[in-house]
Each structure stands twice: as structure tokens, then as C-alpha cells.
């Protein structure tokens, strides 16, 4: 299975919609002078999703032997308007998940 097919399968499972690959967008996210994420974001149009017409997706390699590749998908819904926005949202979500619960 190709990388794009793998992402399409994840999108179908998570969002219940078919995805058509549109483009690959290089993204580099820098915070306080440090690169916090750099990679290629795959952009897909969605067919059959109730609220979004597009989704951004990529995979990150992980140190977890049970799940060596983690897939990330971000729907094109306000305020997400671009691949760059999707990466920023995913970074914020990951950071919040790492914070201890109060």
C-alpha cells in the first residue's frame, strides 16, 4: 500500500468519508527560532463528509514499537485554512495532551 493510500484509509476510518489526493505541501513550523516540525502535508478533498470539504494528513514516526507510525489528520474547518494551520493545530493538540491534568 502506498503512503497516499495509507492516509486515505486512515481518513476513511476516522472521518467516514472518501478522500481524493490534491497536493503535497512542504511545511516548516518554527517557534522561537527553533524548528518544531518540518515535513510534507498531504492535502485531500473529501467526498461525503458532513461538515468539511478538505482534510490535511501526514504520518510521524514514533518510538513506540506497538505503533511505529502515528497518523495525523486535521479537517479544513474554521480556523484551519491551510496545511500550515493544520500543522500548528496538531502541535497545539499534542502539547495539550502532554500537559498534566489539574
- Could you give the percent of the chain with pLDDT greater than 70? 96
| pLDDT of 98 above 80 | no
pLDDT, mean over the chain: 93
pTM equals 0.90
| pLDDT of 15 above 60 | yes
Q: Which parts of the chain are beta strand (E)?
A: 18-31, 34-47, 54-61, 69-75
pLDDT at 28: 97
Instruction: Please compute the mean of the pLDDT values over residues 59-81 and round it to a whole number.
Output: 91
Question: Which pairing describes strands 69-75 and 54-61: parallel, antiparallel, or unpaired?
Answer: antiparallel
Instruction: Please compute the mean of the pLDDT values over residues 30-53 and round it to a whole number.
Output: 95
Amino acid at each position: 500500500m502506498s503512503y497516499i493510500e495509507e492516509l486515505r484509509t486512515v481518513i476513511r476510518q476516522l472521518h467516514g468519508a472518501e478522500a481524493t489526493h490534491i497536493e503535497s505541501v512542504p511545511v516548516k513550523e518554527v517557534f522561537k527560532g527553533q524548528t518544531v516540525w518540518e515535513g510534507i502535508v498531504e492535502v485531500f478533498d473529501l467526498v461525503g463528509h458532513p461538515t468539511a470539504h478538505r482534510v490535511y494528513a501526514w504520518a510521524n514516526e514514533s518510538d513506540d514499537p506497538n505503533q511505529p507510525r502515528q497518523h495525523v489528520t486535521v479537517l479544513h474547518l474554521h480556523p484551519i485554512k491551510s496545511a500550515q494551520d493544520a500543522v500548528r493545530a496538531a502541535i497545539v493538540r499534542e502539547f495539550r495532551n502532554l500537559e498534566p491534568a489539574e
